[in-house]
Chains A and B, each alone.
Chain A
Amino acid sequence: MEKSSETTPGEPTPSRRGFGYAVIYGLGALIGAALAIPAALYLFLPPKTRKQQSWVEAGDLSQIPPGTPQEMTFRRIHADGWKIYSEKGTAWVVKNPDGKVMAFAPACTHLGCAYHWDADKSEFLCPCHGSTFGIDGTVLSGPAPRPLDRFEIKVENARLWLGPVHQAGETSS
């Protein structure tokens, strides 16, 4: 717009006009930035994280038959925005015959559907897009991009405790 205004008659001298433009655009830009930057931070930065519960007790390991995955449910505290819930959580827990324990997060690594254990075929099957996983969590078929995510675990007096979830290959911290 301002470009074509150069042809408009009856205006102040060019230098005064140039100064006017500088003031208008300069101050306008300052105001815009002073509002836009906090707005962007407000919308795109994660809020200050509240301390989340790090370890939850999932249940008694001795109840789990070796070699068959079991769905264990537990209650955990979950902070969501301004609300704190006590919610149900689940994990697929596998106890190997040698006593080694793994706990898989209950969401398929493809698009987050809940999968289940297919006892006949001895594999985890996701009903959404047909991904299948072995008992060790590795991808057998389907679109899943990576093995099942695992909970960090610890065992105290045969009680299973679940920690943060890690993607396969991530080092546990």
Chain B
Amino acid sequence: MREIQRKIFAWFDHRTGLETAIRNFLYEEIPGSSGWHQVLGSVAVFLFLVQAFTGILLAFNYAPTPGDAYNSLKYIVTEVTGGRLIHGLHHWGASMMIVVVVLHMTQVFLFGAYKKPREATWMVGVVLLLLTLAYGLTGYLLPWDNRAYWGTVVTTQIASRVPLLGAYLSRFLGTDGSVGVVTFARFYGLHVLILPQLTTFLIIFHIYLVRKHGVAPTPGDIGPTKKFFPEQMVKDVVAIFAAFVILYLMALFVDVPLGRLADPTDLSYVPRPDWYFLFLFQTLKFFEGALEPVGSVLLPSLGVLALFLTPFMDRRKVMRLTQRTTALGVAALAVIGWGALTLAAMKTTPAAPEQQAGNLQQAADWNQFSPAELAGLGYFRQEKCLACHNLTEGLPKVGPNLATAAEHKNAAWMIKHFKNPNQVVPGSNMPPILLSDAKLNALASFLLKLTPENANDVASAPDNLVHGAQIYETQGCGNCHMVNGAGAKLGPPLNGLSQRRDQAWVEKHFANPAALSPGSIMPPAQLSTADMQAIVDYLFSLPGA
């Protein structure tokens, strides 16, 4: 058996030379001083492979257009088995890759391993760092949530202001005018068609250069060499495994932020870049007006150029760190500068508005709605919106689920849409809603209040109270009174009314306000018995002041 196996291998090697090639690769002579400090390059290559693997898997279920990207990503994360893990690995792997690549460069810098004859290896490495960042930049847009959209608006605006080249860059990125379908296609194309090929080629070239010049020895190492396999490879594999465990745990236990669907009309959104670009974000703040390109283009370009030309700026032969105080100082300054800028950016940036919104929404169940919002729920029920729309999970319907944050638009858009659905959403089958503007307004304000968290609760709001809120609205009570913070203060606020008055008093007061409250300017209201009951029930259901 072993004999047959040996023969097969021998035949294969004779025809392809692969076995010999792999053996030569694994049994490379490396300096005796090689060790744990040199594992980072291997870890970076491994993380790149994980990104490629998970990226391909994501692409199998992901629709790269603004119309579908967000929904297909949600589908991956919530419905496809293992989708959340795969997406998590890809997302956190991107951050981890940047950390590892930067650590790898720092190690090479501190050990002086970029010096002659390894200048080209270093320069290819700098290009690989830039490619890693380019992945981050292009991948940032692909979830097509608010974070992605607004983040990309800012980065593409920066690109468009590059002196001389701005207009061309803008056109290349498909952002002539605004971030839209063309931008999306360009970013996706770069992310999955251009960058991976380029990176693969440069990684191979980088490793070829490492082999050509040999692994850089630690300063002062003139001892005997050793083999890469298995001793150094064990260290590499252990480091890779450690990185992988951290990445895996993050993918399993840390949720990837996915905000609301990208909304170009959401003016409340404060865009911020991913953590590794925060230092640039902060740098921008120091340069205003005509000086802006200094912060957005000139300084970053000079930084990259300096990094690229490091081997030529430091041509001395000394390797030992203790004799390279300038280099050490530069590295320390870079770390301190980066850290300070990032920290400053984190401190001065307001909390993400979506988190704030999330906290507010938790408290906003229906009895905290304003009368208009609750009345809107009534119109929602009257118009049988539920025939075509869902508020909660359930049987899919023709229209979109109105509670998912994804569908949130502003009130003006909604009212236009109610009046003429087909004009606002081409192809919509929705019939126009024939209600007065005031009622459409109420309906819109209700929908704006709706979230996936309160949808269940809202569905349980009793009909008579909702009807009471509608009467409250049509009678114009809010012109003088305040309920749940909405309305005017001409009359007394009505929250907590049930603690002050009983039903008989309120009913009599409606019929003849001045009789019970001398000097009151409130006009008497003529209400049917049912309407009277509904509005009293509604007012008495209000939470206390």
Contact = CB atoms under 8 A, between A and B. Distances in A.
A41 interface: yes
A11 B27 CA distance: 10
Given A1-B19, A47-B80, A50-B79, A24 B237 contact: yes
Interface string A46-89: 11101111000000000000000000000001010111101000
A51 B79 CA distance: 12
Nearest to A35: B53
Contact of B72 (A45, A46, A82): A82
A23 B237 contact: yes
Contacts of A168: none
Given A23-B238, A82-B71, A83-B71, A8 B27 contact: yes
A146 B273 CA distance: 60
A82 B75 contact: yes
Most B CB contacts (10 A, CB to CB) among A17, A48, A84 go to: A84
Contact of A35 (B23, B50, B79, B238): B50
A34 B248 contact: yes
Interface in B398-415: 398
Interface string A1-39: 100110010111000110111011001101100110011
Given A20-B231, A34-B244, A51-B394, A82 B63 contact: yes
A17 B63 CA distance: 48
Contacts of B82: 38-39, 41-42, 45
B357 interface: no
Contact of A77 (B26, B61, B74, B396): B396
Contacts of B53: 35, 39
Contact of B57 (A20, A43, A79): A43
Contacts of A30: 241
Contacts of B83: 42
A3 to B, nearest CB: 8
Interface in B66-81: 68, 71-72, 74-75, 78-81
A10 B28 CA distance: 12
A29 to B, nearest CB: 11
Interface in A77-131: 77, 79, 81-84, 86
A11 B57 contact: no
Sorting the interface of chain A by its residue count into under 10, 10 to 19, 20 to 34 or 35 or more gives: 35 or more
A158 to B, nearest CB: 23
Sorting the interface of chain B by its residue count into under 10, 10 to 19, 20 to 34 or 35 or more gives: 35 or more
Interface string B20-57: 00110011000000000000000000000010010001
A37 B85 CA distance: 11
A17 B397 contact: no
Most A CB contacts (10 A, CB to CB) among B22, B237, B240 go to: B237
Most B CB contacts (10 A, CB to CB) among A20, A28, A45 go to: A20
B396 A53 contact: yes
A86 B79 contact: no
B248 to A, nearest CB: 6
A41 B231 contact: no
A50 B63 CA distance: 19
A77 B75 CA distance: 18
Contact of A82 (B74, B81, B394, B398): B74
A23 B397 CA distance: 54
B299 interface: no
Contacts of A46: 81
A41 B259 CA distance: 27
A9 B79 CA distance: 55
A159 B451 CA distance: 37
Contacts of B240: 27, 31
A1 B86 contact: no
B309 to A, nearest CB: 37
A38 B23 contact: no
Contacts of A41: 81-82
A39 B397 contact: no
A82 B68 contact: yes
A13 to B, nearest CB: 11
Given A5-B23, A47-B80, A51-B396, A39 B241 contact: no
A31 B89 CA distance: 13
Interface in B201-227: 227
B60 interface: yes
Contact of A53 (B227, B237, B395): B395
Most B CB contacts (10 A, CB to CB) among A5, A46, A52 go to: A5
Nearest to B393: A51
Contacts of A45: 81-82
A112 B94 CA distance: 44
A39 B57 contact: yes
B11 interface: no
A42 B63 contact: no
A30 B244 CA distance: 10
B83 to A, nearest CB: 6
Contacts of A24: 230, 233-234, 237
A129 B61 CA distance: 34
A20 B230 contact: yes
Nearest to B394: A51
B396 A47 contact: no
B229 interface: yes
B153 to A, nearest CB: 25
A39 B79 contact: no
B241 A50 contact: no
B81 A81 contact: no
Given A35-B53, A82-B79, 15 more contacts: A4-B9, A20-B231, A21-B230, A23-B237, A24-B230, A27-B241, A28-B237, A42-B83, A42-B86, A45-B81, A47-B81, A48-B81, A51-B394, A81-B61, A86-B429
7 contacts: A5-B23, A35-B50, A38-B85, A42-B60, A42-B83, A79-B396, A82-B74
Interface of B: 9, 19, 22-23, 26-27, 50, 53, 57, 60-61, 63, 68, 71-72, 74-75, 78-83, 85-86, 227, 229-231, 233-234, 237-238, 240-241, 244, 248, 394-398, 429
Kindly list the 4 A-B residue pairs having the minimum CB-CB distance in the complex, ordered from nearest: A20-B230, A82-B75, A38-B82, A42-B82
